[in-house]
Amino acid sequence: MANNNTPNRRDLLKLLSVLPAAAGVSSLVRALPKANNSSGHIILLVFDAWSARNVNLYGYKRETMPNLTKWADRAIVYRQHHTAGNYTVPGTASLLTGAHPWSHRAINLGGRINKEYQNRTLFNVLSPKMNTVGFSQNIYADQFLAQSGSGLNSHLPFGSFNLNDRVIYDAPFFTRDSINAYSAFEDGIVQHGKGIDGSLFMGPLVRLKATRDQAVLLPKYGEGYYNGLPESLESYTLAGVVDGMINTLESLSKPSFVYFHVFAPHDPYRPYARFFNAFKDDGLISPPKPDHPIIGNPVQLKRMQSEQLKYDAFIASWDQELARFFEFAQTSGLRDSSTIVITSDHGEMHERGVSGHSTQLLSEPLLHIPLIITTPGVTEQKNVSSLTSSVDILPTLTNLAGVAIPDWVEGQLLPLMGGQEDPARSVYALEAGSNSAFAPITEYSFAILKNDLKITRYQYKNYTGTEVFNFVKDPDENTDLHDQNDPEIATIKLELGKKIAEFGLAN
């Protein structure tokens, strides 16, 4: 253990956020002295754009995640967990604040959490009780970490686990400072480009830089990848991300809340060739669905199918690397002494004319996400089939840490983690990306899930419609029940109307 006169690993980690690029953050993390074992951590892993639909633990026919399945042998698996937003900004903001998008108002591409909620993140709530560490490989989510201010004790820069740290950072456009880097990024790409979350790589400058990065990095690090190195604005390897997570966890010297927002399996999908080759001839092709009428320029079926194949192979590649993380968690004692939460910010879809998650649709592949929790005392798999929401994470972890649950929280305690199954519970999702964050919401997609039914209202100038699906009997959403004369549907529609009025959405 470090004595009082030498900086401990945590102090050094704190320093990382102000070090210049040339220092090579990843290698520095590796060089820090290892701390004594500590326990009682809460670790929240978010895999970006990770749909439950494509995970075999959740019933997918293709075996994309055998290592996760094994990990879940002694875990609580939430079978009907849903995100409150269909892309990074609203999805992550709801996960971090325990509030819905209409409250925290991070609804636009590149949007931030409003003033009222920006210091209401998990970091802010848990920091009086625990050390807090945050890392996001997605620059949009990284903004929320920066917004948490003093609530976040150690903010690892978004590029910490990428390859570029040591090689590429020579352009002033890419500074290490989170806010500055983001502002430059926003000015250059989001405002002038057609940036939306799934098109992070559309900006010409970023594209050019990425091409150059790949030329430099691919020969050295690209072995085994099918179509180039993974990218999150910068190039990275899946193994490098796992190394970064393990090294960070090894550095903890006191009970900590640690947030890792990993970019995989977000596009561009860059799988290992072995998984791509194993899946491409397995005959498991999802049956086509009609294009949705809201989609102006539908993606062709062939393209959607080939993207799904790459997405699945990328998930499988990430699972292979995760095996090392699981092994580390097991052998280090972390698994038995800490709580590890694995989830996503939103899902991904390759159907109905959409490939990705840049869409107004609130289809189940976008909203239904994994949630798997390991915590001391859980010695076998337990399954929760009632509805849960991403806004439940904050109150649950707050309660676990022994902190009073703030009164502004809109979620509930998760069943088996302090809460009870609530069969009458409703969960919500909102997509309102085309509205100003500061004005009433006039165009939106709004979904309510209750009992076994999901009702979605699409309210746009060019399209309005209401859809009703039974997400238990018909998880593929093939049979729209909206014109059925069913009293239960009528009751939920009434609740949907009430919510819309309550949150100031135009009806």
Cβ proximity to Zn ion, 88 vs 178, nearer residue: 88
Q: How far apart are CA 419 and CA 392, in angstroms?
A: 10
- Asked if residue 162 binds Zn ion (CB under 5 A), the reply is no
Candidates 345-353, 369-377, 389-397, 435-443 — which segment interacts with Zn ion by CB under 5 A?
Answer: 345-353
Site string for Zn ion, 88-127 (x = CB under 5 A): x---------------------------------------
As measured in angstroms, the least distance from the Cβ of 90 to Zn ion is 10
Tell me whether residue 29 or residue 349 sits nearer to Zn ion (CB atom): 349
Name the residue nearer to Zn ion (CB basis): 13 or 89.
89
Where would I find the H helices in 127-227? 139-147, 178-185, 204-221
If one asks whether residue 345 binds Zn ion (CB under 5 A), the answer comes out as yes
The Cα 244–Cα 240 span in angstroms is: 6
> The tokens of 71 are what?
């990990």
Per-residue mark of binding to Zn ion, 301-340 (x: CB under 5 A): ----------------------------------------
> Which x/- pattern, by CB under 5 A, does the window 54-93 give for Zn ion?
----------------------------------x-----
Residue 224 or 268 with smaller CB distance to Zn ion: 268
Question: Is 143 a binder of Zn ion (CB under 5 A)?
Answer: no
Decide: is 251 part of the binding site for Zn ion (CB under 5 A). no
Answer yes or no whether residue 267 interacts with Zn ion by CB under 5 A.
no
In whole angstroms, the minimum distance from the beta carbon of 50 to Zn ion comes to 9
Q: Is 35 exposed, middle or buried (0-12, 13-18, 19+ CB in 10 A)?
A: middle
SS (H, E, C) 91-137: HHHHHHHCCCHHHHCCCCCCCCCCCCCCCCCHHHHHCCCCEEEEEEC
Q: CA angle, 116 as apex, 90 and 460 as ends, to 5°? A: 40
Q: Distance between CA atoms of 292 and 179, rounded to whole angstroms?
A: 38
Size of the site for Zn ion (CB under 5 A): 4
Sheet holding 154-156, edge to edge: 154-156, 131-136, 256-262, 42-47, 339-344, 371-374, 76-82, 382-389
48 near Zn ion, rule: CB under 5 A: yes
Interacting positions 375-394 with Zn ion (CB under 5 A): none
CB-CB contact of 344 with 82 (8 Å):
no
Residues found near Zn ion in the complex (CB under 5 A): 48-49, 88, 345
